[in-house]
Each structure stands twice: as structure tokens, then as C-alpha cells.
Amino acid sequence: MHVPMGPLAVLLALALLSPRGSAAGTCPQRCVCASNLLSCSQANLSAVPAPLPRFTAVLDLSHNNVTRLRADWAPARLPHLHALLLSHNGLAFVSTEAFVHVPRLRHLDLSSNRLRTLDENLFSDLGELEVLLLYNNEITTVDRTAFENLGRLRKLYLGQNRIARFPLELLREGTRLPQLALLDLSANRLRAVPAGELQALPAWLRDRLYLHNNPLACDCLLFQLLDRGHRRHLSAVVDFQDELRCVLPGAPASIKILALAGQQPLNCSKAQEAVLEAHLGDNVMLGCDSRWQGVRSRHWVTPGGERVLGEGGNGSVVLLANGSLQLRSLRPEDGGTYACWVAGPLLNETLYVELLVHNFTLHGPHDTLNTAYTTLVGCILSVVLVLIYLYLTPCRCCCCRGTEKPPAPRDDSINSSVLSTTPNHAGGTGEPCASHIAPSAGTGQNGRFKGGGTPPLPARQGPKAQRKVSDPDSVSSVFSDTPIVV
């Protein structure tokens, strides 16, 4: 029986058959939806469109007029959203609760806006964020807790802002941004960057720390640190060496930081480097030998960025009167680069000592042999064994068996090896080997008694006179080295 369906019934049936439902699949006006991508760029929007489909993974709201991002811009949770693009919006305010409903966000673009401050715990809800773009804003201050809970953040772009001081100690602690591998602070208003804090940064972050186009004050410590990075081919120094500039006191224009060597009035000298290896529990001495007489001041900076002016910590680090640094009972965390900064009468010097602490203790004199000695002994033993194998192996030639008893003869040779590798005749003269005397009928090989032994056949004339019959007990493998036919 045919039941007619009206337009309303057809729409209801389609809504029920849709996997996401009609509300979830609705694309906002002036936006373009493609699968889980939602593009509302250049749509002249003043607010985030609503409602947003729950399945949205990428939301592009760039080049609009969204000046405020309130906490209710996403009233419902968007569990699949991993990229949010809000650049070029004139955005001046972001609520501290703006990202509560997007916890899976990995890419956040807030560049080219009018943000002025990064408030307390602004991004603390984004525990999975990996890339944060904040360049080309008006940011002047950065709160110490602004990047709290960003344990997976790898790239942070803060270039082209108005930042006069960035809390580099957040990076040294390694708890707030443990995976950060790129930090862009270029084109800001930084006048001084503590060299101790820069030295304490992880090596992978120093390679991607961009400080060019800042009005930095010329300083020998900064020069020596950047010169060391240039010699190590760090991309942040090599690629932007012309833009790494500083200002000398009273100078009308800035100069290249890497050109400070020998320049008046600082007369900076290039840093010296050394490498020292030690083991756990050792006591080591780090020398700070300056070529200048009448040194005015001298101090050390540990890999953690701490200055050592006297006995430090629990007595494990001691600054001696001659300027050397003594480390007692080494621990794994004592490894790293130590810097001795010397203020001389004419030049300022820096000496870097990279301490490698191996995570095992040295063995005593009566402990196991060292690796080089055991390797030498092993090689000698191997040579001896090869010589024994080559020159002391018993001869298997048939003519060398003068005392060996031949096998008892047998009429048939069905068990003889056709693949035997031992020759049947002597190889030197071409003559057959001399025949052995056949044993008696009562005994077999090795003197064993053979009750049913087959007596030997009488000698035959002709070319086959030397052929013997095989022993019934001598069943040989086809690959045996023992000759069967003699």
C-alpha cells in the first residue's frame, strides 16, 4: 500500500537519517563549510557566528572586526577544534575564560591585532596548545603566569610588539614551558638581556631564540655569548647577524653586536672555550686563567644561571682565591656550561668550560679491566686460536694413516660415499697407496669381536686389484671425510 509523503515528512526523514542532525550540520551565514573546516574569513563579522557546528576542527575568523573575544563566544563545547585563526581583527580584549570550551586547541593565531597585555592565566585552559602566534600586536607587559599550564607549547611568536622585558627565568626553570623550542622576541623594545639567563637556556632553545631588531645596549657578555653561538652556527645568530645590533653609550647609531671585538670603549675579546670530562662523585677544578694582570673583578655563572661569588649551595661549589671554581662530589645535574667572566683593565674576557658528567663512577685499580685492555687481550686470543686451527689440525690424508687399521672388507659397496671429498689415491706421485693387511675374521675395527664377519676376497689381478670390500659396520654419511674406497 502506497502512502504519500509531504514535504514536511521528507525533511523530517532526512534530518533523522543525517549522522549529525540538522542543527549540527548547519553552516553559519557568510561562511564556507568544507567537511570539518569552517572558513569565515573576510566576512565583515563583528562577532563570532553562532551556532558553530560541533564537528568543527578548523575555524578561520581572520580579517574581520571581532574586537572582543568574550567567554561566551563558544557557548557549547567544541571537542574537535584544534586550530583557531583570529588574526587581523583589531582584537583588543580576550577573556581569561575564552578558551574553556576548546581544550583540544593546538594552533592559536592572535597575530596582527591590538592586544596590549597578556594577563594572568590567560592561556591556562589550553593544555594541548603547541603553536601560539602573538606577533604584530601592541603587547607591552607579559605576566609571569600568562603561559601557565602550557606544557606542550613548542613555538611562541612575540615579535613586533612593545615588550621591554620578557621573563626569561620562566624558561630557565623548565617547568612552565618544558618543550619550548622556538621563541621569537625580535623587533621589540628590549634594552638588556641578562647573559646569565641566556646561558641557562636549553641548547635547543638557544638555537631558536630570536633577538634581532631590538635596541640592546652593547655589552661584552652579550657579544661573547652571541659570538660563541655564531661559531656554533646557531641559526638565530647566523641568519640575522646583520640585524643583531646594539647601541654604545653616546653613539648616534647602532652597530653590529658581532663587530664589538676590539671596539672602543668596551674592547671586548672573543670568548675562550674548554671541555672537561668527569664522573659521578669526582671533585673537579675549573680554571679561570685570564691573560690580563690586575683583574678588577671575576665571577662564575653556573649552567643554571646562578652567579657564584663565594661558597655556594651546600658547599659543593666553592670559588677559590685564584679565581678557579671547585666542584665537589659531582652529580648528574652539575653538568653543563660554566662561564667565568673577567673584567680586566683593557679588555673583558669570558671563559666557557663545558663540563661533561658521565653517569657512572670510575672503577678502582683492582676492579675489572678497562675496555682497551680487554679488547687487546681478545684480539691476541683470537689470533692464537686461528694459528692453532691452521697448523695443529691432524692430517687426514690416507697415506698418513700408517698405524690406523683399515675397515673390514665386504663384497658390496652400497654404503660407499659418492660425494666423499677425500681422494682415493695419493696426490703426490699418482701411485695408489700401499694396501694394509686385512684383519682376522674374528675381530673388527678397534679390536671388536665380529661373529659374522665376511672373510676377505682373494686378491684379483688387473687394474682393480687394490679394491677392497666395505665393512658392514661402517655406514658412512655422503658428506663424510673418511675414505670408503681405497
- Whole-Å CA distances, 162 to 150, 165, 188, 214: 23, 9, 5, 10
Residue in 261, 213, 222, 202 with CA at minimum distance from that of residue 240: 213
C-alpha cell at 184: 621569537
Q: 116 lies in a domain? A: no
Q: Is the peptide bond before 406 cis (omega within 30 degrees of 0)?
A: no
> Is the overall model pTM greater than 0.85, yes or no?
no
| Amino acid letter, 194 | P
Range of the domain at 332: 276-358
Q: Is residue 292 part of a domain?
A: yes
- Write down the residue that cell numbers 685564584 correspond to: 322
**486: which 3 cell numbers?**
681405497
Give the span between the Cα atoms of 349 and 292, in whole angstroms: 9
DSSP state of 192: -
pLDDT at 307: 79
DSSP states of 117-159 as a string? EE-TTTTTT-TT--EEE--SS---EE-TTTTTT-TT--EEE--
Looking at residue 396, its pLDDT comes to 58
Q: Is residue 434 part of a domain?
A: no
User: What pLDDT does residue 15 have?
Assistant: 35
Cell of 95: 577573556
Place of cell 676492579: 367
Q: Is residue 286 one of the residues assigned to a domain?
A: yes
Phi, psi of 10 (to 5 degrees): -65, -45
Judge contact between 292 and 349, C-beta under 8 A. yes
Report yes or no on 173 lying in a domain. Answer: no
Give residue-wise pLDDT tens across range 436-486: 444 444 444 444 444 444 444 445 444 444 444 444 443 334 343 444 443
Per-residue pLDDT at 74 = 87
Those residues of the chain that have pLDDT short of 70 are 1-25, 172-175, 290-296, 310-315, 344-348, 360-373, 393-486
Query: What does the pLDDT look like over 376-385, one tens digit per residue?
Result: 888 898 888 8
> What are phi and psi for residue 118, nearest 5 degrees?
-110, 100
In angstroms, the CA 219 to CA 260 distance is 9
Answer whether 153's CB lies under 8 Å from 147's CB: yes
pLDDT in tens, 222-257: 888 888 888 888 899 999 999 999 998 888 889 999
Could you tell me the CATH number of the domain that includes residue 318?
A: 2.60.40.10
pLDDT at 391: 80
Q: Measuring CA to CA, which residue among 154, 112, 102 is closest to residue 132?
A: 154
Provide the number of structural domains found in the chain. 1
In a domain, 70, yes or no: no
CA distance 219 to 244: 13
Answer whether residue 324 is part of any domain. Answer: yes
Cβ atoms within 10 Å, residue 335: 17
Q: Is residue 250 part of a domain?
A: no
Distance CA 405, CA 446 (A): 8
Angle at 462 between CA 460 and CA 468, to 5 degrees: 45
